[in-house]
Structure 1
Amino acid sequence: MTLGDFWTRLPTKLVGAGALLTDEDDRLLVVEPTYKQEWEIPGGVVEAGESPRTGVQRELLEELGLALTVTDLLVIDWAPPPPGQPGRPDGLMLVFDAGVLPADQAARITLPADELRSHRWCTDAEAAGLLAPRLARRMVAARQARAAGTPLYSEEGR
């Protein structure tokens, strides 16, 4: 077996990177995708050869029209394939701290109409009603990690 063969036989994992972005009232930013019912946080799949931090910053620019610097890694969350999605690999979902967005910057959010219908600022309780349960748990963990100043590891947000 060649080294090239070895690399192609290794398992694959999906890597996603999202952002905890809050407003001056400590509400969480969530976005409404056009392609599914559940809301999401800003972010997405990390592309091949791209670092997770670069990936989330790219997604923030693509999804919100904002060039934001993300800082600390808050959560590493292992996610098994969701039920009803055969062929989708398990993955590592990372949440980075994108800070507090001042009102003047929040007013400049522009969404790509083909990908996102809308956005809104939510309390944790409101977000729990919009996000998939494991993402809602992941975001509670992200807030805890931000407050503690240390990253957290979880599995399905637990």
Structure 2
Amino acid sequence: MEPADLLPLLTTVLPVGEVVATPHAGVADALAASGVEVRVEGPSVLPDGSVGAVLLLAGEVPAAGDRGPTLLAEAVRATRPGGIVAVAAPSAMPARLARTGDGQPALTATDADHMLRERGVEVELLAAPGAAARLAGRPWAGADDLPVDRSPGLLDAGEVVLAVGRTPRSPADRSRTFFGSIARKVAAASVICTDDDGRVLVVFDDFKRSWTLPGGLVDAAENPADAAVREAWEEGGVRVVLDELLGVFAHDHPDRVQFFYAARPEVPTPSPSPVHTHEVSQVRWVTRDTAEAMVDPMMRRRMRECLDGRQRNPHRTWGW
């Protein structure tokens, strides 16, 4: 599939009566033949806001390295607010080892979507032109195939990935699109709370049906340290004072980070009981050895990393 073959898919979004820029001579010739005013230049040399659209349809944007993000930033700068930026490149799927001309990895649909949104470009079209025809063993029908070619299950099944978006009209639009593109991690916070006798506070989680340390999810707009204090009260029934951050653990499933804080009771609480009894049914002060024996193996490892590494690796982040 040639880059110029993709132009019929853009007829509904390309601005009418405005200049369109592309560094690809074949795309420029096809546009000019349709009566479009074209500048055959890359976005780096275009003045700010000087064109209605920038088309990078010949694999100019690779998935890896700085060149792709830099080129897209230049395209957004050169395009007027609310203009069009279109990107197409060889698909990294199904041939995962595909490479663009300069040896950089080819794009996945996720790559293309993310790189545009990261630049504040609101993606309006994400498709794998030719995917449906390829799988059916028939010729590509162009725009007639588009409803199927843009379905999630086919986005990486074609020869190329096509992403078309609209540049932000305001800084607020840019921020909204950018923050919608970034990873969203779940955050949790726990306490390793010890009393004056060196005993550790443990709770019985009724949902997990196991003993663990007081802790839970950080609420929206809540500081993880505040969440740790709250969870110690809700689950352990102990008002605590936090000491240092002992460690942070990063997890894949689900994508989350968990903060562990050293803590001590604000006032002696020899017989604590849970506040949230729908979550926790028992609370105990036990020795460290007993606590490690009671909790699950994953929590045992976290406790040991935090407490044994308190001096040699303070505030460390571990990947799990």
The two structures have a TM-score, normalised by structure 2, of 0.42
The AA in structure 1 aligned to 2:290 is: E
CA separation in 2, counterparts of 1:58 and 1:116?
A: 14
Q: 1:29 aligns with which of 201, 204, 210?
A: 201
Query: What CA RMSD, in Å, does the superposition of the two structures yield over aligned residues?
Result: 2.2
Q: State the SS of the aligned residue for 1:25.
A: coil
- Aligned residue in 2 for 1:119: 283
Q: What residue number does 1:85 align with?
A: none
Is 1:69 aligned to residue 241 of structure 2?
A: yes
Q: How many residues align?
A: 147
Relative to structure 2, which stretch is displaced further, 119-128 or 6-15?
Answer: 119-128
The two structures have a TM-score, normalised by structure 1, of 0.80
Could you tell me how far 1:91 is from its partner in structure 2? 1.1
Distance 1:7 1:80 in 2: 21
- The residue that corresponds to 1:110 in the other structure is 273
Give CA deviations for 1:46-91 in whole Å, capped at 9, x if unaligned: 111111111111112222333322121011111221xxxxxxx221
Q: Is the 8 A contact 1:75 1:154 kept in 2?
A: yes
* Equivalent residue in structure 2 for 1:46, among 218, 224, 228: 218
Say whether the 8 Å CA contact 1:24–1:102 is kept in structure 2. Answer: no
Cα deviation for residue 13 of structure 1 reads: 1.1
Following the alignment from structure 1 to structure 2, what is the Cα–Cα distance between the partners of residues 49 and 59? Answer: 16
| Correspondence list, 1:1-158, <5 A | 1=121, 2-81=174-253, 89-99=254-264, 101=265, 104-107=268-271, 109-111=272-274, 112-147=276-311, 150-156=314-320
What secondary structure, in the 3-state scheme, does the structure 2 residue paired with 1:59 have?
Answer: helix
Structure 1 residue 18: deviation in Å?
0.4
Q: Highest Rg: 1 or 2?
A: 2
**TM-superposed deviation, 1:25:** 3.1
Structure 1 vs Structure 2: percent identity of aligned residues? 27
The AA in structure 2 aligned to 1:19 is: V
Which structure's relative contact order is higher, taking Cα pairs within 8 Å and 6+ residues apart? Answer: 1
Q: List runs of 5+ in structure 1 lacking aligned partners.
A: 82-88
Match of 1:106, SS state, is coil
Unaligned runs of 5+ in 2: 1-120, 122-173
For 2:210 and 2:289, the matched residues in 1 are separated by 15
- What corresponds to 2:3 in structure 1? none
Pairwise CA distance, 1:117: 1.2
1:101-151: CA deviations, max 9, x gaps? 4994232x2213211111223334433333222211111122124455822
